[in-house]
């Protein structure tokens, strides 16, 4: 399909050039429109068709992170029945498949049929992607995001556990520093150098943090038969309080 569209674009552009050389510019207009239309269709298919091999390699690793965070939740809060789940829940098919793997892995790790996940998109809280360091966002924006997230927590008073696949957002930090009685587990995306994870864990604000190992194996291939613990150990480490 894409090859045919590229040929169509090339043919339209050649037709435009020929029409101009023969002094018949009137033919150029339709040719240009045809080329633009073909280009638009081609881009649409390209954006809507994530590379299957790429997803196939990523999905088990995202599931393994969810699984190990879920096990940490189970060990810390054995009777957990509701978890606030923070994710970058965009509409793109690629992102949706990965966030699904994260959530399914989390529930598998928790191991309770009665555990409910409250899905929260960071885009609903801050409007864009992962919150960067506090130096790069003004205090007004932090407080606005904090109020929105606090409202989510108040709507689910029985949920005292937060699992974040979006790092350690500023509004969560503010919530914990103001004394909220919640347990926080996170996947450190490595996008915010202002966070001292060891200090946050030592102070009891962060229960567990997943991050890349010093020498992750980025080339290993895994499949559905590979245990999630083994998949996780290839790239990540789980850090908790000693």
Indicate whether 191 pLDDT > 50.
Answer: yes
Give the total number of structural domains in the chain: 2
Residues 23 and 79 placed together within one structural domain of the fold? no
* pLDDT of the residue at 131: 44
- Whether residue 106 is found in the same domain as residue 209: yes
Judgement on whether residues 141 and 81 belong to the same structural domain of the protein: yes
**The pLDDT of residue 61:** 95
Confidence of residue 224 (pLDDT cuts 50, 70, 90): confident
pLDDT for 166 beyond 50: yes
Q: pLDDT tens across 113-164, in order?
A: 999 999 999 988 986 544 444 445 567 888 899 999 999 999 999 999 999 9
Q: How confident is the model at residue 19 (pLDDT cuts 50, 70, 90)?
A: low
Strand-strand pairing, 82-87 and 161-164: parallel
Residues 43 and 58 in one domain: no
More confident residue, 137 or 217: 217
Whether 57 and 40 map to the same domain: the answer is no
Q: Which has the minimum average pLDDT: 14-28, 131-145, 182-196?
A: 14-28
Q: Same domain, yes or no, for 191 and 85?
A: yes
- Mean per-residue pLDDT for 42-64? 69
| 174: CATH | 3.40.50.2300
Residues 87 and 200 in one domain: yes
43: containing domain: 2-48
CA nearest neighbour of 208 among 232, 185, 236: 185
Q: How confident is the model at residue 41 (pLDDT cuts 50, 70, 90)?
A: low
pLDDT > 90? residue 34: no
Do 8 and 64 have their domain in common? no
Given a cut of 90, is residue 100 above it in pLDDT?
yes
Lowest mean pLDDT among 92-96, 133-137, 207-211: 133-137
Residues 15, 128, single domain; the answer is no
pLDDT of residue 129: 42
Co-location of 59 and 33 in the same domain: no
Look at strands 82-87 and 116-121 and give their pairing.
Answer: parallel
Confidence (pLDDT) at 48: 52
Residues 82 and 127 in one domain: yes
């Amino acid at each position: 399909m894409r090859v045919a569209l590229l040929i169509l674009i090339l043919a339209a552009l050649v037709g435009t050039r020929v029409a101009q050389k023969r002094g018949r510019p009137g033919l150029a207009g339709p040719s240009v429109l045809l080329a633009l239309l073909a280009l638009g269709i081609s881009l649409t298919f390209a954006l809507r068709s994530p590379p299957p091999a790429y997803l196939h390699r990523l999905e088990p690793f995202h599931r393994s992170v969810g699984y190990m965070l879920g096990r940490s939740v189970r060990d810390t809060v054995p009777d957990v029945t509701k978890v606030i789940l923070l994710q970058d829940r965009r509409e793109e098919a690629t992102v949706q498949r990965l966030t699904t793997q994260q959530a399914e892995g989390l529930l598998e790790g928790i191991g309770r049929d009665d555990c409910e996940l409250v899905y929260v998109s960071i885009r609903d809280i801050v409007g864009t992607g992962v919150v960067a360091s506090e130096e790069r966002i003004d205090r007004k924006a932090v407080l606005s995001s904090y109020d929105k997230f606090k409202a989510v927590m108040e709507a689910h008073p029985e949920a005292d556990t937060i699992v974040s696949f979006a790092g350690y957002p500023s509004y969560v930090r503010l919530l914990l520093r103001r004394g909220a009685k919640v347990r926080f587990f996170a996947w450190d995306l490595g996008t915010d150098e202002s966070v001292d994870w060891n200090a946050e864990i030592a102070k009891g604000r962060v229960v567990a943090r997943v991050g890349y190992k010093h020498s992750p194996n980025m080339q290993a291939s895994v499949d559905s038969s590979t245990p999630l613990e083994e998949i996780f150990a290839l790239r990540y480490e789980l850090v908790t309080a000693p």
